[in-house]
Amino acid sequence: MSIEEYAVAGAEDGPYAITTGPDDALWFTMVHSGRIGRLVPGGEPVSHRLDPASGPTIIVTGPDGALWFTEYQAHRIGRITTDGEVTEFALPATDRGPFGIAAGPDGALWFTETTADRIGRITVDGEVTEFPLPVTGAFPSAITAGPDGGMWFTLNQGNTIGRIGMDAEITLHPLPTEAAAPVGIAAGRDGALWFVEIAAGQIGRIGTDGVITEFPLPDRSARPHAITPGDDGMWFTEWGANRVGSITPDGAIQLQDLPTPGSEPHGITLGPDGALWTALEIGALARVAAVPGRSPRD
């Protein structure tokens, strides 16, 4: 693999999540400084200021062609157009801790409320509905649209993968490994959902039938954090080990060290240029591209 790092902010800004926008640019959150960043590969980064204490976390493209993000500390859902216009929507209470967010098949955005044991839904007009989970203290974290028309999410402290349908029916699937603490989740190209177990050092796969398979990482203390589909499998970050990795549908894992020690990789996405991009908390984005004829450790 070939890895290049691009400075986009200061180390105090904390680039966190990243996604490819409808404008073929990379959009990313800066959780510590309350900013939304934009980078066209090969260009200069642009920064859009929010409330410094808002804590923007996950960011995704919405069904309306804008970028939508969660404000974990401000208990809001944010929207930013590709030309930088920001709108923010308050949640029903100031104790929700929204974290994960994803576009649903119904034309709305679905999000998690980590501190309220709820899944939320917001229309592009800002109308919010909340759905209580049948558990408490579960810390719902990441969420993604599944291939079956439902939204799948991780319960970090509940050690469970959940599903909520468009009819609001909730199904929970406990993990085989105790205290695995799942975080990131994404739909794979194989028709299953893939997730990371940050405390167990494993990558998980769950079919829409609820069957779970777990794949231990070579370094069980690597703290895998986020996961996304690539052209050749699923790609993930190892936050605690300063690496990115990939896993094929049959469980073959490849890993690559990042150039800068202690860079703390968080979000990861397939970029508009066909490479994988990850957000580094040290203030940079890393571009990860395959080099033909070379192994991941070359």
Closest to 58 measured CA to CA, from 25, 21, 16, 115: 16
The letter for the amino acid at 22 is: P
Whether the pLDDT of residue 298 is over 60: the answer is no
Question: Which pLDDT tens digit goes with each residue over 207-230?
Answer: 999 999 999 999 999 999 999 999
d(Cα 107, Cα 123) in Å, to the nearest integer? 7
pLDDT of residue 1: 75
Annotated binding site: 225, 264, 281
Closest to 72 measured CA to CA, from 7, 124, 128, 116: 116
Question: Which pLDDT tens digit goes with each residue over 46-73?
Answer: 999 999 999 999 999 999 999 999 999 9
Annotated binding site for substrate: 225
Rg (CA), the chain: 18
* Residue 59, beta-bridge partner list: 69
8 A C-beta contact, residue 203 and residue 196: yes
Question: Which pLDDT tens digit goes with each residue over 69-113?
Answer: 999 999 999 999 999 999 999 999 999 999 999 999 999 999 999
d(Cα 25, Cα 45) in Å, to the nearest integer? 10
The token pair that represents 135 in the structure block = 């558990």
266 is catalytic: yes
Question: Which pLDDT tens digit goes with each residue over 165-217?
Answer: 999 999 999 999 999 999 999 999 999 999 999 999 999 999 999 999 999 99
8 A C-beta contact, residue 234 and residue 186: yes
Mean pLDDT across the chain: 95
Instruction: Enter the DSSP assignment of 12.
Output: T
Given the residues 32, 75, 173, 266, select the one marked as catalytic.
266
8 A C-beta contact, residue 264 and residue 280: yes
Question: Which pLDDT tens digit goes with each residue over 132-160?
Answer: 999 999 999 999 999 999 999 999 999 99
The token pair that represents 27 in the structure block = 């959009």
d(Cα 57, Cα 35) in Å, to the nearest integer? 10
Whether the pLDDT of residue 279 is over 80: the answer is yes
Whether the pLDDT of residue 296 is over 70: the answer is no
pLDDT of residue 182: 98
Question: Which pLDDT tens digit goes with each residue over 245-272?
Answer: 999 999 999 999 999 999 999 999 999 9
Contact partners, residue 211, CB within 8 Å, separation at least 6: none
| pTM attached to this predicted model | 0.96
Give residue limits of the domains in the chain.
Answer: 2-289
**CATH number of the domain at 2-289, please?**
2.130.10.10
Counting residues of the chain whose pLDDT is more than 90, the rounded percentage is 95
Whether the pLDDT of residue 26 is over 70: the answer is yes
